[in-house]
Structure 1
Amino acid sequence: MEKVNQEKEKKRAMRMDFIQEVVSSRKCKDGTTEFVMKWTPNPKRYDFIEIDGEVAFKDRFTGIVIHESALKNIKMMHGAPIFYSPPKQPDYCSYLKGRKAELLGHWDEKYPLMDTQRPFDGFLSKLRGKDTQIVILYVDMEGSTRISSEVDPETNLKIIKIFLMQMAKVIDNFRGYVLKFVGDCAIGIFPADENFTSMSDNAIQAAMIMRSVVEDVINTVFVEKRLPPIGCHIGLDIGSVRVDKVGALDVAAFDDLIGYSMNLTAKIQSHAGHEEILLGRNLFELLHCRWQEHCEKVDLGQTWTMKEPLSGCTYEVYRFLGKWVCKCWDK
């Protein structure tokens, strides 16, 4: 068992943040551009220390120490592709304004939805029976029970559909996929086998913008339409899951994601308070330092019983305090 745990630990993803400087570049015959880069460990994240006469870098956020000799492996990356997956709309103020204009412009519509195949279905079928690394995001609507008792069924349905639609659009904007909807909860995933750094950062930004969409888009429109405001609870983490078909023969069957990480993220989300974003330690360690700066460790008390699979210790959870404030609503 100890050997198995050690092997899993070796495969665990680890992130380093660098300050990148272009030293030179040249155009290649195939039309691409080749860059020669100088990478320096980001001083905002690392303290430079010395261990047994060797320079090392200590991560201020995770405590992980990386020896300078380990960075020699970077030389082996010559010619390897660098993955980068920016949001489809990186201007968040424009994104929020667009969502609000769309919501107001289509307010009187019934929000018809066609029964079409999800773009994600093909991705799932290719991975069936395999383990894959993903960032998981759960977001649900706060106040749904209260609202259902205050408005008529038609209005209640419209509120839920608006919430889920807006959350789905945020997931899509940050290169994620909507796995499914469960009641008033949307489950998003961000494939991270090859690009866990960008997808980790995308997921935490998606959570941040979800909160802004609820506060600055949905609720401002609801106030204008004399509807009760809503809230949200968000939970995130990263981990390995198995893609497989579940169900019963001749009854119902579909591809789904199964694994401890799915259950763990659901538990994390269930402990989130009003407009709160909680994330697990595995995801925290893979965030860029500019996002880690906005995180704080939280004590969930005796009600939190989830364990770290390798060590058996209580699994650490963090609160994300970052908030996007759009200062140009009236422009």
Structure 2
Amino acid sequence: MKNENNAKDDSIMRKFSFRMDFVTKNVSFDEKSGKFTGMLEPDPRRYEWTEIDGKRYLYDKFDNRYFPEHIYFDFLKQCAGKAGYFQPPKIDNSTAYIKSRLPFITNMLMGLTGLPTFKDKSEEFLQSLSTDKLEFVILSLD
């Protein structure tokens, strides 16, 4: 049942975008099928549960933002049963990669080269959806 306060919280939460970081707790793993069952929990390095005026909130310590408890649980319900995909890192050896980049970084810091330009590949796609009334989550688990 949705009460008036929940409706107000929903309208406030929809006025801005936000991120949520999770840690995965291993529930089970079937070696034969390779199926992993995990449980998502708010990353304790970033979040803590708190109570304000008798209502529970998930407090984001980095963004100084409070998420009403029902928003968090509504999100979890939407994720239930959805497939997760494994995307391994593109850099196998970060130490070797950093060493290979040192000359470029040194030149940039000394002002010998300009700053590199980066393009967020998802930005163009997300902007194309700005007029649509779609709601979705991009979830990245480290």
TM-score (norm 1): 0.28
Amino acid at match of 1:45: R
Identity of aligned residues (%): 23
Cα distance, 1:39 vs structure 2: 2.8
Partners of 1:236 and 1:51 lie apart in 2 by 41
CA distance in 1: counterparts of 2:92 and 2:84, whole angstroms: 19
Matches within 5 A, 1:58-207: 58-73=59-74, 74-97=76-99, 99=100
* Paired position in structure 2 for 1:305: none
**CA separation of 1:219/1:44 partners in 2, compared to 1, >3 Å: closer, same or farther?**
closer
User: Can you list the C-alpha shifts for 1:187-209, whole angstroms capped at 9, x where unaligned?
Assistant: xxxxxxxxxxxxxxxxxxxxxxx
- How far apart are the structure 2 equivalents of 1:95 and 1:69? 43
Q: What is the aligned partner in structure 2 of residue 217 from structure 1?
A: 103
**Contact residue 59 and residue 65 of structure 1 kept, 8 A:** yes
Which residue in the other structure is 2:18 paired with? Answer: 14
Q: Is the 8 A contact 1:48 1:56 kept in 2?
A: yes
Distance across 2 between alignment mates of 1:39 and 1:88: 24
AA of the residue aligned to 2:77: K
More helix by share: 1
Residue 51 of structure 1: CA displacement?
A: 2.6
Stretches of structure 2 that go unaligned for 5 or more consecutive residues are: 1-10, 129-137
Partner of 2:133: none
Q: Aligned partners of 1:43 and 1:88: how far apart in 2?
A: 27
Aligned partner letter, 2:104: I
CA separation of 1:219 and 1:63: change in aligned 2, threshold 3 A:
closer
The Cα offsets for residues 55-103 of structure 1, whole Å up to 9 and x where unpaired, read as: 2112122222112222223134222122453431242212244x4xxxx
Residues paired across the two proteins, number = 115
Secondary structure class of the residue paired with 1:233: coil
Measure, in 2, the Cα distance between the counterparts of 1:229 and 1:51.
50
How far does residue 234 in structure 1 lie from its aligned partner after superposition? 5.4
The AA in structure 2 aligned to 1:95 is Y
Structure with bigger gyration radius: 1
Q: Deviations over 1:203-234 (max 9, x none)?
A: xxxxxxxxxx2xx13377x8xxxxx9724435
- CA change 1:71–1:27 in 2 (3 A) is farther
CA RMSD between the two structures: 4.1
Under a length normalisation based on structure 2, what TM-score does the superposition of the two structures give? 0.55
Q: Which amino acid aligns with 2:80?
A: H
How far is 1:50 from its partner? 0.9
Deviations 1:7-65 (A, max 9, x none): 9x73854321223210222357xx44131x23332222124321332221121222221
Q: Retained in 2: the 8 A contact 1:20–1:40?
A: yes
Letter in 1 for 2:40: W
